[in-house]
Amino acid sequence: MRLLAPAGPSTTVSDLLTLPPATGTPFAAGPQATLAHLSTLILQHPRLRADAASVALAYWLRRSNLDRLAQAFERRRALEPETVFVPVGRVFHVAPGNVDTMFIYSWALSYLCGNQNIVRVSGQNSEVLAHLLSLLSSLMQENEELAAGNRFITYEHDQAVSAALSEWATHRTVWGGDDTVKAFRALPMSPHASERAFASKFSYSVLSAATYLRASPLTAEKLAAGFFNDLFWFDQLACSSPHLVIWAGSPEQSDSAIRRFDTELEKEIERRGYESDPSHTMHRLNYVFNLSCDADLTVDLTQKQFLSVRLLDGHPWRKEICGGGLFMHVRVENLADIATIAEQRDQTVTHFGFSREELELLAQAGGGRGVDRYVPIGDALAFDVIWDGYDLVGDFLRRVTVRMGKYDSQQ
Amino acid sequence: MTTSASLERLLGAGPYSLPQKEKRAILTERVRELSCRHYECCEPYRNIVNRIFGGPQTLDFERLEDAPFLPVSLFKTRELCSVERAKVVKKLTSSGTTGQAVSRIYLDAETAQLQTRTLVKIMQHFLGVERRPMIFLDHAAVVRDRYSFSARGAGILGMLPFGRQPFYALREDMSLDLEGLEAYVEQMKPGPPVLFGFTYIVWQYFVEALEQMCRRLSLPGAILLHSGGWKRLEALNVSMEEFRRRVEAVAGIETVINYYGMVEQVGSVYFENSLHCLQASIWSDVIVRAPETLEPLPHGRAGLIQVLSALPSSYPGHSLLTEDIGVVEGCDNPATGMYGKYFRVLGRLPKAELRGCSDTFQRTVATP
């Protein structure tokens, strides 16, 4: 097991478990200042500054957003006057391997809530991950409180380590996929502990074909820019990256809309000078050849940096993930038809061209079956304190009830 | 057996006897024939032509560059066969490490025979008509299962008919049987031997083994044929030049011939010419394509290698896009004494390392 921040020699589980107990108060000034400082450091870092996902992280960690989070906490307190909010205590975070910045979001919220944290990052070589960890390490050298209560580690699949950390934790947050979640569910925690698990998810976009066709050139350009981010960040393998683009409208409208959409995306790719990894091109190609053996589709292989596959009407949909810049256009008659395909693993639906009422109806109709969030195209990867339908801040806090007897005031 | 004028013409000529222009006209016709045949007989191929290449009218292409192609990986995910299962006489599978999907190639008697015929002609061009003593730098166990064997086994079985007195120089634990080899060389029939093996096996278990034993062999006039990609040697930082130099140093072998081939196109292999490039025979050709746009590239530009073969009629493997990166170096060069295009393989496109949600612990590449 390697200790990544604070940087140190390889460490043992028993060393980790001797963290001093958290005495933190939620949303104290110290952690807020530390995170705001981290935001500045990220934006000053030559490599991280150039990484869109790191910039988004820094933006999320900036002072004004932390203020907003603190205000939200104050509102929470005001709504529950009989509750004293305390940290949940010791949090074990298992960070995902596909999104380099995710471990910071998860950790930062828990740190703000006043907890002790052990964060397991996956050991994959990522430059961004390494830079972020070294920033944290350097922060820890000058910040005793940060260094005392937080450990960022990595280790290969090791049941014994995972078991010991699970036993230690009063709350476990597993960002994984189905397999990781299952592996951790098998490891018992303290009977008093709580857990939040984020499993494999599937995300897609829905657009009104008619509205999209009427959209101004500027709107179409902005949508392409937003879709570009949703698609290409993290190689389309973040849980919230879209894999289907669903058009609500007539066949004719959808045809024209799809042509416009693809052309706009091509223009956006050109504007940004984006070049996908050649191995991704091959990956997309292999995927679409295999798919076309038994799915009725059309595709244009001369598309650069991405492939948009058109699944023909009447063909059963596939909720499959290729990744690396491939998505499938499909058509429905009405937005409401989408509710029938909602599944529990559906996470983010990015949308354009519908009214709030239509989307609320859809959310209701999808209901217990699925879909965690409906957000505008371009916001798929924006981190939210409500994730997969769960309140992360709530997870990292414990509510202590303090209720007075009616005679107390008469004393 | 189907009769085909273009195939007959190709079979009637020597492997490097037709100038590119002439060969290309015949090969294009043959590839057209094969495309139509597979369109008719192989449903997945037909679906791909219809859905990706724009329908049957694309089969009437004028230029070889416009022939539909399949990515070579498709043989790993799909059963691609253009004959009834009863007609399959041999199933080839690619070597793959445990857990990896392998290519499955179905041969009927006709395709198997075509592969042998053309391979014989290419081999004879380099080794002569006389069969020579043959030393396999491998162990005998890799050829045991004859219906379904690995690329290593298939390579050796394919070589067997070209030599006599086959000798396997490695023991089953991959150690070099030096005493056995020396005894074999002592008593073998006259004529210098041919040695055959997979590049990294030759390197690790023959060249390095001899070096570690501080032993040298003397095999003047011998030819070493080897194949199997440079990936492992590249990782060890061994160039082709160094490979040749050290083979000569430990075994006295001056003629070292690399060849490029794949289980999906057995028979129409590419042998190394005197310029140390891989030479296309009249039964095959290469097109290099831009990895991003798949547009054909001019000579001298590196890109994805597409291989075309006149042979596969029992499976749609006549036009394949590989994941190898290469560059066409020239064509019809008198210095080589051979007609046709020649090229170099520069390496393999790295596998897409796409990290899914589900790989906190298990590393999964998102494939269907």
Contact B292 A278 (CB under 8 A): yes
- Closest-CA distance of chain B to residue A289, Å: 7
Fold assignment, A2-200+394-401: Aldehyde Dehydrogenase; Chain A, domain 1 (3.40.605)
Chosen for mutation from A120, A172, A292 (greatest number of chain B CBs closer than 10 Å) is A292
Query: pLDDT tens across A76-106, in order?
Result: 999 999 999 999 999 999 998 878 888 999 9
pLDDT of residue B367: 24
Chain A CB contacts of B350 below 8 Å? 279
Q: What is the pLDDT of residues B241-253, one digit of tens each?
A: 999 999 999 999 9
Identity of the residue in A124, A201, A279 whose CB atom sits nearest the CB atom of B355: A124
- pLDDT one-digit tens code per residue, A191-233: 999 999 998 899 999 999 999 999 999 999 999 999 999 999 8
- Residue B363's pLDDT band (cuts 50, 70, 90): very low
User: Are the Cβ atoms of B367 and A122 closer than 8 angstroms?
Assistant: no
Q: How many residues would you count in chain B?
A: 368
Q: Are A76 and A388 in contact (CB under 8 A)?
A: no
Helix (H) or strand (E) holding A242: strand A242-248
From the CA of B323, how many Å to the nearest CA of chain A? 8
Report, as an integer, the average pLDDT of A238-254: 94
Three-class SS string for chain B? CCCCHHHHHHHCCCCCCCCHHHHHHHHHHHHHHHHHHHHHHCHHHHHHHHHCCCCHHHHHCCCHHHCCCEECCHHHHCCCCCCCHHHEEEEEECCCCCCCCCCEEEEEHHHHHHHHHHHHHHHHHHHCCCCEEEEECCCHHHHCCCCEECHHHHHHHHHHHHEEEEEECECCCCCECHHHHHHHHHHCCCCCCEEEEEHHHHHHHHHHHHHHHCCCCCCCCCEEEEECCCHHHHHCCCCHHHHHHHHHHHHCCCEEEEEECCHHHCCCCEEECCCCCEECCCCEEEEEECCCCCCECCCCCCEEEEEEECCCCCCCCCEEEEEEEEEEEEECCHHHCCCCEEEEEEEECCCCCCCCCCCCCCCCCCCC
Looking at the complex, report in whole angstroms how far the Cα of residue A285 sits from the nearest Cα belonging to chain B: 8
Query: Given A94, A176, A287, which is nearest B368 (Cβ)?
Result: A287
Distance from A184 to chain B by nearest Cα, in Å? 11
Give the 3-state secondary structure of residue B303: strand
In a mutagenesis test of the A interface, which of B103, B322, B361 is the best target, namely the one with the most A β-carbons within 10 Å? B361
> Is pLDDT of B357 > 50?
no
Task: Delineate the domains of chain B, giving CATH numbers in brackets.
Answer: 5-115+273-348 (3.40.50.12780), 130-260 (no CATH)
Q: What is the pLDDT of residue B145?
A: 57
Chain A residues touching B362 at Cβ < 8 A: 157, 179-180
Closest Cα in chain A to B74 = A290
pLDDT in tens, B203-219: 999 999 999 999 999 88
What is the nearest CA distance from B86 to chain A, expressed in angstroms? Answer: 23
Burial class from Cβ neighbours inside 10 Å (0-12, 13-18, 19+) for residue B206 reads: buried
Q: Cβ–Cβ of B368/A320 closer than 8 Å?
A: yes
**pLDDT given for residue B298 in this prediction:** 97
Q: Which of B43, B74, B360 sits opposite A94 (nearest CB)?
A: B360
**DSSP letter at B296?**
B
Neighboring chain A residues of B44 at a CB cutoff of 8 Å: 293-294
> How far out from the chain centre does Cα B106 lie?
16
Long-range CB contact pairs, B300-305, < 8 A, 24+: B300/B327, B300/B328, B300/B329, B301/B327, B302/B326, B302/B327, B302/B346, B303/B327, B304/A282, B304/B349, B305/B343, B305/B345
Decide if B355 touches A, using CB distance below 8 A: yes
List CB contacts (< 8 A) between A321 and chain B: 356, 366
The pLDDT-based confidence of B358 (bands split at 50, 70, 90) is very low
Maximum Cα–Cα distance for chain B, whole Å?
63
pLDDT of residue A297 exceeding 90, the answer is yes
Report which of B12, B16, B14, B34 is spatially closest to residue B310, judged by C-alpha positions: B34
Residue B365 in this model has a pLDDT that exceeds 80: no
What pLDDT score was predicted for residue B92? Answer: 84
pLDDT computed for residue A12 by the predictor:
81
Using pLDDT thresholds of 50, 70 and 90, give the confidence band for residue A389. Answer: confident
Q: Is A356 strand, coil or helix?
A: helix
- Evaluate the omega torsion of the peptide bond into residue A6 and state whether it is cis, within 30 degrees of 0: yes
The 3-state DSSP class for residue A100 equals coil
8 Å CB contact of A283 and B349:
no
Q: What pLDDT shows up at residue A276?
A: 86
Is CATH 3.40.309.10 correct for A202-387? yes
Q: Which chain A residues contact residue B43 at CB under 8 A?
A: 293
| B292–chain A Cβ distance below 8 A for any pair | yes
pLDDT of residue B148: 47
User: What's the mean pLDDT when you consider all of chain A?
Assistant: 91
pTM: 0.86
- Say how far apart CA B260 and CA B257 lie, in whole Å: 10
Is the CB of A287 less than 8 angstroms away from the CB of B51?
no
CB contact under 8 A, B358 and A176: yes
Chain B closest-CA separation from residue A99 CA (Å): 8
- A-B CB pairs within 8 A amount to 139
Q: Which of residues 179-238 of B touch A (CB under 8 A)?
A: none
Per-residue pLDDT band at B149 (split at 50, 70, 90):
low
Answer yes or no: do B71 and A282 touch at CB < 8 A. Answer: yes
Per-residue pLDDT band at B353 (split at 50, 70, 90) = low
Region A368-391 average pLDDT: 88
Task: Name every chain A residue with its beta carbon within 8 A of the beta carbon of B71.
Answer: 282, 285-286, 289
Per DSSP, the three-state class of B77 is helix
| Strands (E) located in B37-94 | 70-71, 88-93
* Two tokens, residue A281: 């091109």
**Per-residue pLDDT at B355 exceeds 70:** no
Give contacts of A93 with chain B, Cβ < 8 Å: none
Residue B182 has pLDDT above 60, yes or no: yes
Residues of chain A with pLDDT > 70, as a percent, come to: 99
Q: How far apart are CA B202 and CA A63, in angstroms?
A: 63
Contact B368 A201 (CB under 8 A): no
pLDDT class for B96, splitting at 50, 70, 90?
Answer: low
Q: What mean pLDDT value characterizes chain B?
A: 88
Min mean pLDDT across A105-114, B189-198, B340-349 is at B189-198
User: Measured between CB atoms, does B346 come within 8 Å of chain A?
Assistant: no
Q: Once rounded to an integer, what is the mean pLDDT over residues A179-193?
A: 93
Do β-strands B132-136 and B163-168 pair in parallel, antiparallel, or remain unpaired? parallel
> Would you place residue B282 in the very low, low, confident or very high pLDDT band (cuts 50, 70, 90)?
very high
Question: Is A397 within 8 Å of A86 (Cβ atoms)?
Answer: yes
Residues of chain A with Cβ-Cβ distance to B303 below 8 Å are none
**Residue range B23-77, pLDDT digits in tens:** 999 999 999 999 999 999 999 999 999 999 999 999 999 999 999 999 999 999 9
A175 and B360 within 8 Å at the Cβ level: the answer is: yes
Pairwise CA distance, residues A1 & A153, whole Å = 7
User: Residue A373, SS3?
Assistant: strand
* Per-residue pLDDT tens digits for A309-322: 999 987 777 788 89
Parts of chain A belonging to CATH 3.40.605.10? 2-200+394-401
Q: What residue type is assigned to position A34 of the chain?
A: T
pLDDT higher than 60, residue A107: yes
CA distances for A267 relative to A205, A222, A300, A307, A330, angstroms: 19, 11, 16, 14, 22
Could you read off the pLDDT of B156-167 as tens digits, one per residue?
877 888 888 999
Residue of A236, A279, A298 with shortest CB distance to B51: A298
Contact (CB<8Å) B48/A278: no
Nearest to A302 among B291, B293, B358 (CB): B293
Question: Which of A66-80, A367-381, B14-28 has the lowest average pLDDT?
Answer: A367-381
Task: List phi, psi (to 5°) of A20.
Answer: -65, 145
In this prediction, residues B339-360 reach a mean pLDDT of: 74
Q: Is the pLDDT of residue A356 over 80?
A: yes
Nearest-CA residue of chain B relative to A305?
A: B292
